[in-house]
Amino acid sequence: VASASSDKILLLFYISYLTSINSLHNPNVLQNGVRALMLDTYDFKGDVWLCHSSGGKCNDFTAFEPALDTFKEIEAFLSANPSEIVTLILEDYVNAPNGLTNVFNASGLQKYWFPVSKMPQNGQDWPLVSDMVTSNQRLLVFTSARSKQVTEGIAYQWNFMVENNYGDDGMDAGECSNRAESAPLNDKTKSLVLMNYFPSVPVKLTACLQHNKGLTDMASTCYSAAGNRWANFIAVDYYKRSEGGGAFQATDLLNGMLLCGCQDVKACQQGSSVVCSA
């Protein structure tokens, strides 16, 4: 992942891997290249838990752990890495008043909060990475619950982001269409693009092949579908597994195209936004 200190990037951050709740059993997940987490949050046992839905509810066999535990891990990472930025994208089923806010406060993450008031409207540019680092506002949080932007100051995801279909529908070669909740991918009033590329049923053994050529091909397909915009996030299963460059190669491609228009971020010349090295 490219350095987070460049003043050349006009977007908020470089490409981050998205991971599911299943990856969070590893406390080093943020150290392993992940900079954004997709988490399902629910009311459960009088608290907020990370959980997979079962009939729209959290229960003993789908619950993973209290959200506070994971949020404390994220706080520790941000504290130990003062130039890093982390994004949380919450599939939000928490109905308790200020339930999420209370957990963020208890975890110590509020001091890193990037406020909604600073997020760009109508597709305008995000602040520079260096500005976010200087202000120490290095945590972005998006929620799927529209009301939370007003009641708790948590950005409503679909005000700022477009996203393609997930699961099998998002893996058809040559096709990249928006998921139902998202605006059309070419809606440039939304400044962030999230690209899903994982099957409906995750299979560890086949992830190697999926991450090889198909992932980079889909990045180009979604670039065209999004009005000639490269994805800011990619969501995959088992991101470390590949038979070639895999998810890391796709990330280097996307970083390179966003930073300097090069096919690989390593080809971007220091101090230049237009010259690619051989």
**Chain mean position to CA 182:** 15
- Tens-digit pLDDT string for the chain (278 aa): 333 333 333 333 333 333 344 444 444 666 666 688 888 899 999 999 998 876 678 888 888 889 999 999 999 999 999 999 899 999 999 999 999 999 999 999 999 999 999 999 999 888 888 889 999 999 999 999 999 999 999 999 999 999 999 999 999 999 999 999 999 999 999 999 999 998 888 888 888 888 887 899 999 999 999 999 999 888 888 877 777 788 888 888 888 888 888 888 888 876 555 567 65
For tokens 């269409």, the residue is 177
Kind and range of the H or E element at 143?
strand 139-143
**CATH architecture, domain defined by 16-267:** Alpha-Beta Barrel (3.20)
> Residue for token digits 């990249």?
176
151-181: buried (b, 16+ CB within 10 Å) or exposed (e) per residue?
ebebbbbbbbbbbbbbeeebbeeeebebbee
What residues does each domain of the chain span? Answer: 16-267
What does the block give as tokens for 140? 């972005």
